[in-house]
Every structure is written in C-alpha cells, then in structure tokens.
C-alpha cells in the first residue's frame, strides 16, 4: 500500500497514502515535472473535470478546488512520514507521478527511493519550492486564479494535514507525533509565502477557496467567512 498506508490502527491513511509501486491497472500517471515544465493538458482536464463535477459556473472555482486537493496530497505525503519517522520521501517532481483523471484524493505514485530529514527547511524545499511554486504557475497559465487564493489554499491544506495528524495521534496514543507535526507546521507557516494564510489556534484561513460559489457548496470548516456571501449567481440560468 505504500507509505502512510492503513489509517485503521497503523499509519494515517487517506490523503497520506503514497504509492511506491506502479499502479497495477495502468492509468495516465505522468511525472509532475512534465506539468511544471509546461505540459498543461492533464491539469486543464483536471480543472475541467472538477468544475463540471461540482457544477461551478466559474472555472476559477474548479481550479481552486482541484488545486486544494493536490496541495493537500503533497503536504500530507511529506508531513506524515516526517512526523512519524523523522524522514520523508524526497518527492522529486521527476519521480512523483500523478494521474489527474483519478477521483479525489489525487493518486500519486512515487518512483524514487531517496528520503530527506524532517526539518522545516527540507520540507519547504521539497514541497513548497519544488512543487507548489511551479504548480501555482501552471494554474495561472490555465486561467485567472489569484496568487493570494492559491497560497491561502496551500496554507489551509498544510493546516488540514496537521489537524488530521493530531487527531490520529490522539486516537493512537502517540503525542510525540502531534508535537513533531505541530512544530514543523509552525515553522513552515512562517515562510513568506505562507505567513498570514491561516491564523489563530484553530488555524482558520484568511482567504476563501471559493467553494461556496458552487451550487450547494457551502463553507469549508476553516473558511474565513462566518456566512456564505451572496454570489449573484443564484437566480441565473445555466449557460447554454
């Protein structure tokens, strides 16, 4: 099952799972390095799919939701092993394969073997610099998505990974895992690109992912809003 596999008494599952062998069923996995280098077709298709699935009338809403899901996977597959084992997969974009056609959570297959020590600097270099910065550039090529929204998503995804690790650590009686994860996330959130994206003890985000603008979307648990703003789209008929 790969790193961070079980979620039922072993290591955290869900967004923390990382394949370490090629999927048996094949699929359209390709290195994320190709996406970052300008091969935008799979990302465009992913945004199209998510936009249609949530019924959003605005493409930027689908782009934000798609980005938030992938950002959560990238942070989780690094932070989980870092907190549990003191090291994490190197996650070189040339060795991390993604299939944008798969359902959420995004399917990732790691073909590498190198690991990195669990420090704030190493996590920042492996996830933020190597993945999030070029991923944000790719999404900006795809359409009009604000940098503030994307970095807000990145901060929210990191905070979400921390909350899940803390929850798991309490259930498993592993307080040291929660402590290590919290210390690492505190350091990561001091990075200039992430500073101010979430605030307070609940790590509530300071921007919005726009999910409330999808029909029936509502607010996320850490949303900056207390009540969903009116979108001005409620009474409009769908575009032909």
Query: Looking at per-residue confidence, does 52 or 14 come out higher?
Result: 52
Q: Is the pLDDT at 4 greater than 80, yes or no?
A: no
3-state secondary structure of 233: coil
Average pLDDT, rounded, for the chain: 87
Q: Is the pLDDT at 32 greater than 80, yes or no?
A: yes
pLDDT-derived band at 230 (thresholds 50, 70, 90) equals low
pLDDT-derived band at 234 (thresholds 50, 70, 90) equals very low
Phi, psi of 56 (to 5 degrees): -75, 140
50-79 pLDDT, tens digit per residue, is: 999 999 999 999 999 999 999 999 999 999
pLDDT for 28 equals 82
Among the listed residues 169, 155, 167, the one whose alpha carbon sits nearest the alpha carbon of residue 127: 155
With tokens 């932070």, the residue in question is 79
Q: Is the pLDDT at 237 greater than 70, yes or no?
A: no
With tokens 């998503």, the residue in question is 153
pLDDT-derived band at 19 (thresholds 50, 70, 90) equals confident
Query: Looking at per-residue confidence, does 77 or 231 come out higher?
Result: 77
Using CA atoms, how far apart are residues 19 and 26, in angstroms rounded to an integer?
13
Query: Looking at per-residue confidence, does 214 or 230 come out higher?
Result: 214
This prediction's pTM:
0.89
pLDDT-derived band at 10 (thresholds 50, 70, 90) equals low
List, edge to edge, every strand of the sheet that includes 30-31: 30-31, 96-99, 107-110
As a whole-number percent, the residues of the chain with pLDDT over 70 amount to 88
Among the listed residues 112, 121, 70, the one whose alpha carbon sits nearest the alpha carbon of residue 90: 112
Among the listed residues 163, 158, 233, 145, the one whose alpha carbon sits nearest the alpha carbon of residue 198: 158
The top-scoring range by mean pLDDT among 44-53, 113-122, 219-228 is: 113-122
């Amino acid at each position: 099952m790969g790193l961070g596999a079980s979620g039922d008494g072993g290591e955290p599952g869900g967004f923390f799972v990382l394949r370490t062998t090629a999927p048996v069923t094949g699929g359209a996995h390709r290195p994320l390095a190709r996406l970052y280098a300008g091969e935008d077709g799979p990302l465009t298709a992913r945004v199209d799919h998510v936009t249609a699935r949530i019924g959003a009338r605005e493409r930027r809403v689908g782009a934000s939701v798609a980005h938030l899901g992938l950002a959560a996977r990238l942070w989780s597959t690094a932070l989980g092993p870092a907190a549990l084992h003191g090291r994490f997969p190197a996650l070189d974009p040339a060795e991390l394969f993604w299939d944008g056609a798969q359902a959420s959570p995004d399917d990732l297959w790691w073909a590498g073997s190198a690991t990195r020590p669990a420090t704030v600097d190493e996590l920042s270099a492996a996830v933020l610099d190597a993945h999030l910065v070029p991923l944000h550039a790719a999404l900006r090529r795809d359409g009009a998505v604000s940098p503030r929204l994307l970095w807000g998503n990145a901060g929210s995804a990191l905070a979400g990974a921390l909350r899940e690790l803390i929850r798991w650590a309490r259930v498993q009686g592993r307080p040291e895992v929660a402590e290590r994860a919290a210390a690492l996330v505190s350091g990561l959130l001091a990075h200039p690109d992430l500073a101010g994206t979430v605030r307070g003890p609940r790590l509530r985000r300071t921007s919005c992912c726009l999910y409330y603008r999808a029909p029936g979307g509502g607010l996320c648990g850490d949303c900056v809003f207390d009540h969903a703003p009116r979108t001005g789209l409620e009474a409009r008929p769908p575009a032909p």
